[in-house]
Amino acid sequence: LRDATLLFLIKKSGGKITDICLAMKKHGFGAGRWNGTGGKVEPGESIESAVIREAMEELGVAAADSRKVAELSFYFPHHPDWDQKVHVYLAEIWKGEPVETQEMKPRWFSVSDIPFDKMWPGDVFWILEVVKGRLVRGMFRFGEGDVILDKKVDIVSNFA
C-alpha cells in the first residue's frame, strides 16, 4: 500500500476536543467531500514531513504539534491504484489561519455537527473514537460507488 497522510486541526476546551477543521476537496480523489488535509507521501519523504507539507500546501498553515491518532488501510478492488495506508494526525497548535487554496476550502465544525453525510462513508466509524482520545487502526474495503464492502476498526495502544 502506498503511504498517505491526513491532518485535522482541532480546538479544545476543558481538555476535550470541541471543534475540528474539515476541508472541502475541490477536485481529484475525494472531490466534493469534507475531509482533513493530506495526500501522498513523496519518495524519500518521512510521513511526518508529508503531514507538515500538505497542511501548508492545502490550508496555508504550519502544524506545530501534530500527533498520530490513526492508521487506516483503504482498499478499492475495482480501482487498486487507489489503495492506500493513511496515517492520521491531529494538531492543536499551528501557525497561520486555515485559508482556501486551489485544493481545499476549510471550515470549522463543532464535534457534534461533523457532516458525516458529506464525508467518506467509513469516517463515521473512526473519527469519533479519535475525538474521544483513542488511537485507532482500521481497514475499509470499498466497492463501486464507495459502498463499504468490509470494515474493521480496532482501538489500539500504539502503532508499533
Report mean pLDDT in 10-residue bins for the chain, 160 residues.
96 96 93 95 96 96 94 96 97 96 96 97 97 97 95 96
Q: Convert the pLDDT of each residue in 60-106 to its tens digit.
A: 999 988 999 999 999 999 999 999 999 999 999 999 999 999 999 99
d(C-alpha 61, C-alpha 148), whole Å? 33
Residues in the chain: 160
For residue 89, give every residue at least 6 positions away whose Cβ sits within 8 Å of its Cβ, in sequence order, or none: 5, 6, 7, 8, 51, 63, 66, 67, 68, 69
Is 0.85 topped by the overall pTM?
A: yes
Cβ proximity of 139 and 73 under 8 Å: yes
In 3-state terms, what secondary structure has residue 124? helix
Read off the C-alpha cell for 12. Answer: 479544545
CA angle 10, 56, 120 (to 5 degrees): 55
Asked if residue 159 lies in contact with residue 135, where contact means CB atoms within 8 angstroms, the answer is yes
